[in-house]
Chain A
Amino acid sequence: MKLRRRALDHEIPLVPMANLTLLLLGFLLLNHTFAAMRGVDLGLPASERVLVPGRDAAVWISIAPTGALALDGSAIDARRVLETIAPKLAAAPETVVVVHPDPEAPYGAIVSLYDLLRRGAESGVPVRHVAISTGRAIDQFWD
Chain B
Amino acid sequence: MRRSSASIPRPAIPTAAIANLVFLTIVFYVWTFHTDVDKATVSLPRTELRVEVPARTAIVSITENGQLRVSDGESASIPVSGPEDLLTFASGIVANEPDKAFALKADAAVPYRTVDRVFDVLRQARVRAVYLLSEAELASDGARAR
Contacts and interface: CB of A to CB of B under 8 A. Distances in A.
A139 B55 CA distance: 26
A37 B52 contact: yes
Contacts of B87: none
6 contacts: A21-B22, A36-B53, A38-B50, A38-B134, A134-B116, A136-B120
Given A41-B129, A79-B146, A21 B23 contact: yes
Contact of A42 (B50, B129, B145): B129
For chain B, the bracket of interface size reads 35 or more
> In terms of DSSP, what is the predominant structure of the interface of chain A?
mixed
A106 B111 contact: yes
Interface of B: 15-16, 18-19, 22-23, 25-26, 29-30, 32-36, 45-53, 55, 57, 62, 103-104, 106-117, 119-120, 122-123, 126-134, 136-137, 145-146
Contacts of B23: 21
Contacts of B120: 134-136, 139
User: Which 4 A-B pairs rank lowest in CB-CB distance, beginning with the nearest?
Assistant: A108-B108, A115-B47, A108-B45, A103-B113
B35 A33 contact: yes
Contact of A106 (B46, B49, B108, B137): B108
Contacts of B15: 14-15, 18
> In terms of DSSP, what is the predominant structure of the interface of chain B?
mixed
For chain A, the bracket of interface size reads 35 or more
B126 A46 contact: yes
A142 to B, nearest CB: 10
A32 B32 CA distance: 8
Given A21-B19, A112-B46, A135-B116, A38 B110 contact: no
Contacts of A77: 146
Interface in A92-114: 101-108, 110-112, 114
A79 B137 CA distance: 15
A25 interface: yes
B111 A39 contact: no
A42 B130 contact: yes
A39 B47 contact: yes
A18 to B, nearest CB: 6
